[in-house]
Amino acid sequence: MQMRRRWTGLLAIMGAAAVLSGCANKGPQVACPTVDVVDALHQTTAFKAGAIGDLSAVLHRVEIADFAATCRVSKDQISLPIKVRLIANRGPANVTDDAEVAYFVAILDAAQNVVTKQVYQARVPFDGGSQRVAIDEEFMPVLPYKSADERAGYRVLIGLQVDRATLQYQRSRRQ
């Protein structure tokens, strides 16, 4: 019986501590931006120059297979450590044992205007004759802000950077 009272008392103290810790935050809460991959730009096929659509001219296919994002809020900025997993498949025209992959991170405001966009380059090595390779890329966009309301509705978008001709090819294949 005495043991039961101790557990009950301990659970009551832990519950009160949890409730009070939620009330301990001072000032307005800053919403973390959502992070998404652009559906139409999550995968692409790279071709030799001037040979878009020719399957014998495929250098590599790449996709954003997964991502993880966290949010760290300080008094005047939001840091977003993001990890992206890229998977590349070697194409028949690839004779260089690697693939250069460009991807972007864009930050949009509540009105869906691009506030900033950073393009990153990743080298995917096809070491030892590998046909399929996965690599992880990490980066950390930082969003400065002056007030909690200033960053409400912000979004971070991740996608593969492609040229206009490749984008048109990808769109034609989706129809």
Go through the domains of the chain in sequence order and give each one's CATH number: 28-174 (2.60.40.10)
- Both tokens of 103, joined, read 């991807």
C-alpha separations of 71 from 24, 110, 122, 141 in Å: 19, 18, 23, 10
Please report which confidence band the pLDDT of residue 31 belongs to, taking 50, 70 and 90 as the band edges. Answer: confident
- What pTM did the predictor assign? 0.76
Query: What is the Cα–Cα distance from 85 to 138, expressed in whole angstroms?
Result: 9
CA distance 164 to 175: 17
Residue 56 has, within 13 A of its CA and on its CB side, a CA count of: 0
Q: What is the pLDDT of residue 20?
A: 38
State residue 29's pLDDT score: 63
- 126 pLDDT higher than 70: yes
Closest CA to 37 of 66, 61, 62, 60: 66
* Residue pointed to by tokens 């691009």: 114
Give the tokens for residue 128: 């030892």
**Residue 17, pLDDT above cutoff 50:** no
pLDDT digits (tens, 9 = 90+) for 147-159: 767 777 789 999 9
Least confident range from 4-18, 23-37, 45-59, 154-168: namely 4-18
Q: Sheet holding 58-69: strands in order across?
A: 43-47, 58-69, 82-90, 132-139
The yes-or-no verdict on residue 12 having pLDDT over 80 is no
Whether 59 contacts 70, CB under 8 Å = no
Task: Provide the sign of the torsion angle of the four alpha carbons 84, 90, 91, 93, taken in this order.
Answer: positive
Give residue 28's pLDDT.
Answer: 55
The pLDDT of residue 102 is above 70 = yes
3-state DSSP percent of the chain in helix, strand and coil, to 5: 25, 45, 30
pLDDT given at position 129: 83
Q: Which two tokens stand for residue 121?
A: 């380059």
- The pLDDT tens digits for 36-83 are 999 889 999 999 988 888 899 999 999 999 999 999 988 888 899 999
